[in-house]
A = this chain, B = another copy of it.
Amino acid sequence: MANNKYKIGTIGSHSALQILRGAKDEGFETVVFCKKNMTPVYKSFGVADEIIEIKDYSEVFEQCSDNIIMIPHGSFIEHIEKLKEMKGLYYGNKEILDWESDRNQERKWLSNAGIKLPKIFQNASEIDRPVIVKFHGAQGGKGYFLARDEQDFKTKIADHPDKKYQLQEYIIGVPMYIHYFYSVIHEELEVLGFDKRYESNVDSIGRISARDQMALKSVDPSYVVVGNIPLVIRESLLGNVFDMGHKVIKESRKITKNGLFGPFCLEGVLTPEQEFYIFEISARIVAGTNPYISGSPYSYVKYKEEMSTGRRIAREIKQAIEKDRLSEIIN
Contacts and interface: CB of A to CB of B under 8 A. Distances in A.
A107 to B, nearest CB: 23
Interface in A212-233: 212-222, 224-233
Copies of this subunit:
3
Contacts of A290: 232, 235, 297
Interface stretch (A95-103, A110-118, A193-201): A193-201
Contacts of A15: 235
Interface string A37-56: 11011001111000000000
Chain A contact residues, majority secondary structure:
mixed
A41 B199 CA distance: 31
Interface stretch (A86-94, A172-180, A254-262): A172-180
Contacts of A297: 18, 290-294
Contacts of A237: 226
A306 B310 CA distance: 19
A214 B306 CA distance: 46
Interface string A226-264: 111111111111111011001000000000000000000
Given A17-B301, A201-B271, A292-B297, 11 more contacts: A15-B235, A45-B302, A47-B302, A146-B212, A148-B212, A175-B204, A176-B227, A208-B221, A227-B231, A228-B232, A232-B290
